[in-house]
Amino acid sequence: MKMTRAEYKKYAEAHAPASALLGDCVHAFLVGGLICTAGEGIRSLAEALGASTEDAGLVTSMILVAAAVLLTALGHFDDVAKFAGAGTLVPITGFANAVASAAIDSKDEGFVLGLGAKIFTVAGPVLLYGTLAGTVYGLVLWIAGLF
């Protein structure tokens, strides 16, 4: 069956599920906000218990990462992500989920060829291009400072 672009577009639009864009945005905003609010609560508690600002931030990151990894290991992170969408990806929890899920998926293949080789399959490009962008940005600032 041959279709023109216009016919295909009309066909695809008729069969595509309706997007609840506003609801998805609200869910992402609320869940992402709750995660960040929990992080601020943890940070404030750590500071109230005597931790320095830097140490409180470290403790907060560690707890949020551990919670995301635990939810991933128990199979609940995906449920939250289906409801919240990008709300779970923006905070540090999304990165933790990406690394943990790759590790869990490849554990049966062994430590070297499974876990070691595949743990950063999702997060690796983020690390690579984030580091590369930071290096380029630093070089540009360094060169600009020479003049």
Percent of the chain with pLDDT over 70: 98
For residues 122 and 115, what is the distance between their CA atoms, to the nearest angstrom? Answer: 13
Give the count of domains, the chain.
1
Q: Is residue 142 one of the residues assigned to a domain?
A: no
Q: Is residue 124 one of the residues assigned to a domain?
A: no
Quick count: other Cβ atoms within 10 Å of Cβ 89?
A: 15
Between 91 and 22, whose confidence is greater? 22
Q: Is residue 99 one of the residues assigned to a domain?
A: yes
Containing structural domain, residue 86: 22-119
Say what the pTM is.
0.69
- How high is the pLDDT of residue 126? 75
pLDDT at 46 over 80: yes
Q: Is residue 32 one of the residues assigned to a domain?
A: yes
What pLDDT, in 10s, does the model give residues 3-45? 888 888 888 888 888 778 899 999 999 999 999 999 999 999 9
Q: Is residue 6 one of the residues assigned to a domain?
A: no
Residue 121: CA atoms inside 13 Å, Cβ hemisphere, count? Answer: 14
